Structure 1
Amino acid sequence: MFSIVITHILGLIIVEMVGPTLCFIPSRIPTQALPKPFVFNQSSSTSLETTTEMPLTKLHIGGLFPMTGTGGWLGGQGCQPAVEMALEDVNSRPDLLPGYYLSLTPNDSKCDSGLASALLYELVYEPPTKIMILGGCSIVCSTIAETAKMYNLVVFGYGSSSPALSNRSRFPTFFRTHPSATIHNPTRVKLFKEFKWQRIAIILEAEEVFVTTAKDLEYQCKKAGIEVLTRVTFLSDPSDAVKSLARQDARIIVGIFYGGEARKVMCEAYKQNLYGKQYVWFLLGWYEDNWYLPVKGLNCTKEEMLKVVQGHFTTEAIILNRDNKQTVAGITAQQWLDKYHQRLNQNLGTSVRPEGYQEAPLAYDAIWAVALALNATMHKLKKRGIAIESFNYENKLISQEIQNSLRDTFFLGVSGEVKFTDEGDRIALTQIEQMVNGNYNLLGYYDTQDDNLSWASAPQWLETGSPPKDRTVIVEQLKTVSLSFFVTLNAIAAIGIIWSIGLICFNFKFRKFRYIQMSQPLSNYIMLVGCIGCLSSVILFGLDSQKINARDFTKLCHSRAVLLSISFSLFFGAMFTKVWFAYRLSTQLEQSSKSKQKVENAQVVLMISLFCLIDVAILTSWFIKSPMIRITEKLEQEDVDPNDENIKVNFESLIVRRLERCDANLVWYCILFGYKGLLLLFGLFLAYETRSVKLKRLNDSRLVGMSIYNVVILCMITGPVSLVIVNHVDAHFAFITFTIIFCSG
């Protein structure tokens, strides 16, 4: 009781302070906003007091309508005429509130919470006593509902969707015919699943109604396993927020903001190219049909705005009853709509639909819900000997009975079935629409309670005919040796192998000829076997995980190293033994012309075996200590060619080229290449030293020396160049292959 007295005193002080500046009484409502002011009070010339033999008792309702202002939802322009119609219909019913009629005093709240607070104190402290407050605009309802509970006043909202208003501990006396904004979220999540989208982005205006809606959407998405890529907020200028969406490659975007800010967002989306076949926008469904048309100060043309809004989806609770059934007012929803259009033409003198046109059925049903609840409360109180008009701001009993009656209220209104949850929220279906060529097409309805999505028509997708992807699709392609190149070079290597086998056969057949015997035939056999091994490795270097199982790629890596290393030791080792013995024989001949030492086969085998054993030791240690593994490296990105027959896409995609290679510890490469390098350099030295030597016992020593020059030069070029062109798979394969072929030839 003490707190209420203090509140009364504070209220009076505020009213005195704001005075004529903030307190809007009916006569002060701007005429341009209300061409025909409609004020239901004792002095109003338009009062609907019914002429009866016995005077009727007025039940006063305080009304707050957002009529004018610079921001927020100004839906009072379209909702107040609907409230006028409802009051006329309710007060003309003798069976409803017998002995009473409803009187409403409207005020312009401008969708401003500060002004609404001052107007509430004016309504409370200026007689007559108000039995209820009717409010629109979420930020206004949040302010007055939090205060009104201290006066046991029920606040009824016709145009407030903030999820915060569902908080019963904070707003215990609040009810509304406009469903909570969170009713959109289950519908959105259902559509995300329907179109197989797993990633979305959210952009919202920094208002409590939108912040709480966005948080609930994030929660719903998390439950459904859908990723929220980002949530960006803006206060008045959305340019930075829209740029952030573009930077993060947002494709499925949920926009939550008032209609005025929606124009700015979509204009900026046009500038950032966030529209077209690969983007889908979800907006609120309670904007006016032509909300996107440019206004003064918007730096976009009508054609540009039409481009960016084309194909976007909207979700909104059912506003107008779909059935042709008779409502509680005795008329169908369509008949009511026709009457409402007539009222707008009378008030505005034009067919232009004012802001709040969409919510007008909710405002109309709000009065009916209030009237039916007060009617039920009146009968309950009458049985207890209490008159409903005895309500005062300290009478909690009557307020509680009104709330109980509202919870039990159920009727068919022009906006559909009207019933409320324990939190005071409206229970309703959600309708889904899509903009096509500047007009909204009805797609279907979603029943949250039954999780039932019913389609009225199919969505239309720009150009593609199917839903776009929720992100830039990365098409990974492994860079491999082209098949034609692989076959061609392997065919050349096969010819070399056949030629080597032919030479082996030739040497064996003519092994008894003196000319063949003088060329050290054993070394020739070993050299040709080494050539066959090196040429065979060409096949291994052309294989990849698309030609063999990826799990076997590491075996391929080891096989390449073993085959090429051992074959090189056989091939180059055989030539090395020839120049080595040529060098020894030449020096022996210089020391003693009588020397007739012969080259023993055992010495050849021993030397070549030594080279191979060193290879085996290095490779064994390598594979045991640090075996090679398959890795892929990301290379350049490039746009997908829409005409590429191998990649069927209907959305923007990128190809990421990947290079597959064998990865090993660099130390082992250094050991192996170091050993081979020393062998090459020593062989080069011996070939140089024996360049002018002519030996009958080694008649091909000079040709062997030339071959060593060829091998050393090609190996010295191939090593560095192959590292440079490693990303060019075909060129890399060709360079290594030609080196092997020329060395073996």
Structure 2
Amino acid sequence: RNELKKRNATVDADVLFTFDEGSPDVIWEPLKDIRVFVSFTPGTLTFGKLLCKLHNLGFYGRQYVLLTYFFARISDWDSIDESVYGCNKKEMLQVLDGALGCSQMVTTLVGMYDNDKHFSTKQTYNDLKPLVKLIPTAGLRYYQPIVYDSVWAIAMAINATIRQEHDIDEIKNYKHRNSKNKTLLESLYGNLLDVEFEGLSGKYYYEKSTGVRQFDSYIGLFDSNGRLTYIGYFDKQNSNIVTKPDDVVWKSKGGAAPLDEEIKQYERKRISKTTIIVLSVFAGFGILLALIYVLYAIVHRNHIMIKDEWRIMTYVIVFGCIILDTYVLIHIADLQT
């Protein structure tokens, strides 16, 4: 919320409901005619209860968008207790249809790297499956490509270190406990931070100041069957979001984003500051003159010039001018809202 406010975005968000005291599971932000829900649910079972609650409240369909970082295993909902959850699997999937998820694990769950080739070996993840003892868990599927790429990163760092000031014998006989200046270790660490390549787990690189492996966060779109489709990612290095065309992203919400002319009809026209100042001065001056005349007429109401005038018509004209000038000021202020 604070980041949105810094960018002059209007935020009217509130906690809708929570399953524990630690952190909210869902907040919603009204955006014109669309409600955007943001979910922070930590597990498959809790996420299922969240979907049921949204379904029972009627918060799903074209006017609602669910953003979540968690990607559930749909098979876990095959034999749920409806009395505990509050709905069935079919109703869960109705809410999940069109939901957007952002996570590093989406790379594995949507299988987007299964057929991508490693920059050097030209092998894919599917090519490497026979080399690994497979265990049917999503966690291992997530870490296998990372381990493979990490071995490559270390090998590339060692190779770069050898090519620098150090020879192979020095590296073979290196003992960390006997090294006081640690030049070889520092050189190896520096070369590891400089590693950058396209691997099986995505773009492989490190954050230079912390030495932490970086991952681009990938965006998936759920369909009515709970399947994920890869639609984009967030590039951390360039702070840039890359997505597929709008008609793919908006598939479950009508197939396409609103046309430009449909958006522009909500735009309000603005006038220049110079025009505002000139109109305000004229309107204020007109109101001031009218008030002076009214006060003068009241104070000198017995004066012959005042008596001989058609009082009613004069006052009508004067008050008409006041109303007109006041309208101009109000309209100018309204144009700035």
Relative to the length of structure 2, the TM-score reads 0.57
Q: Which amino acid aligns with 1:245?
A: W
Partner residue in 2 for 1:453: 242
Answering whether residue 229 of structure 2 is matched by residue 229 of structure 1, we say no
Whole-angstrom CA distance in 2 between matches of 1:233 and 1:390 = 58
What are the ranges of 5 or more consecutive residues in structure 2 without an aligned counterpart?
267-306, 329-337
CA contact (8 A) 1:239 1:265 kept: no
Cα deviation for residue 359 of structure 1 reads 4.4
Answering whether residue 285 of structure 2 is matched by residue 616 of structure 1, we say no
Partner residue in 2 for 1:409: 195
Q: Which amino acid aligns with 1:332?
A: T
Whole-angstrom CA distance in 2 between matches of 1:445 and 1:247 = 25
Cα deviation for residue 373 of structure 1 reads 3.5
Whole-angstrom CA distance in 2 between matches of 1:384 and 1:616 = 110
Q: For 1:343, what is the secondary structure of its paired residue? A: coil
Q: Counterparts in 2 of 1:157-176, with a 5 A limit?
A: none
Answering whether residue 153 of structure 2 is matched by residue 365 of structure 1, we say no
CA contact (8 A) 1:369 1:409 kept: yes
CA contact (8 A) 1:278 1:468 kept: no
Whole-angstrom CA distance in 1 between matches of 2:323 and 2:116 = 79
Residue identity (%): 20
CA contact (8 A) 2:216 2:235 kept: yes
Answering whether residue 225 of structure 2 is matched by residue 434 of structure 1, we say no
Deviations 1:242-269 (A, max 9, x none): 6863899871234345344543433332
Q: 1:293 aligns with which of 61, 77, 81?
A: 77
Cα deviation for residue 400 of structure 1 reads 2.8
Q: Counterparts in 2 of 1:232-381, with a 5 A limit?
A: 232=15, 236-237=19-20, 241=24, 245=28, 251-260=35-44, 261-284=46-69, 287-290=71-74, 293=77, 298-317=85-104, 318=107, 321=113, 324-326=116-118, 328=120, 331-336=123-128, 338-339=129-130, 343-344=133-134, 347=135, 352-355=136-139, 357-373=141-157
Structure 1 residues 468 and 358: CA distance shift in structure 2, 3 A: farther
What are the ranges of 5 or more consecutive residues in structure 1 without an aligned counterpart?
1-201, 203-217, 477-609, 632-745
Partner residue in 2 for 1:390: 175
CA contact (8 A) 2:158 2:188 kept: yes
Whole-angstrom CA distance in 1 between matches of 2:21 and 2:54 = 9
Cα deviation for residue 414 of structure 1 reads 1.6
CA contact (8 A) 1:267 1:299 kept: yes
CA contact (8 A) 1:321 1:413 kept: no
CA contact (8 A) 2:17 2:26 kept: no
Cα deviation for residue 384 of structure 1 reads 8.5
Relative to the length of structure 1, the TM-score reads 0.29
Whole-angstrom CA distance in 2 between matches of 1:385 and 1:370 = 18
Q: Which amino acid aligns with 1:230?
A: A
Cα deviation for residue 466 of structure 1 reads 3.6
Q: For 1:229, what is the secondary structure of its paired residue? A: coil
Whole-angstrom CA distance in 1 between matches of 2:321 and 2:75 = 72
Whole-angstrom CA distance in 2 between matches of 1:628 and 1:363 = 75
Structure 1 residues 630 and 450: CA distance shift in structure 2, 3 A: closer
CA contact (8 A) 2:116 2:125 kept: yes
Q: For 1:419, what is the secondary structure of its paired residue? A: strand
Structure 1 residues 303 and 321: CA distance shift in structure 2, 3 A: closer
Deviations 1:681-713 (A, max 9, x none): xxxxxxxxxxxxxxxxxxxxxxxxxxxxxxxxx
Larger radius of gyration: 1
Structure 1 residues 256 and 395: CA distance shift in structure 2, 3 A: farther
Q: Which amino acid aligns with 1:252?
A: V
Matched residues, number = 268
Structure 1 residues 459 and 400: CA distance shift in structure 2, 3 A: same
Cα deviation for residue 407 of structure 1 reads 1.1
Q: Which amino acid aligns with 1:405?
A: N
Whole-angstrom CA distance in 1 between matches of 2:76 and 2:178 = 45
Cα deviation for residue 332 of structure 1 reads 2.2
CA contact (8 A) 1:445 1:454 kept: yes
Higher relative contact order (CA 8 A, sep 6+): 2
CA contact (8 A) 2:195 2:206 kept: yes
Whole-angstrom CA distance in 1 between matches of 2:239 and 2:30 = 39
Aligned residues: CA RMSD? 4.9
Q: For 1:251, what is the secondary structure of its paired residue? A: strand
Deviations 1:112-145 (A, max 9, x none): xxxxxxxxxxxxxxxxxxxxxxxxxxxxxxxxxx
CA contact (8 A) 2:149 2:201 kept: yes
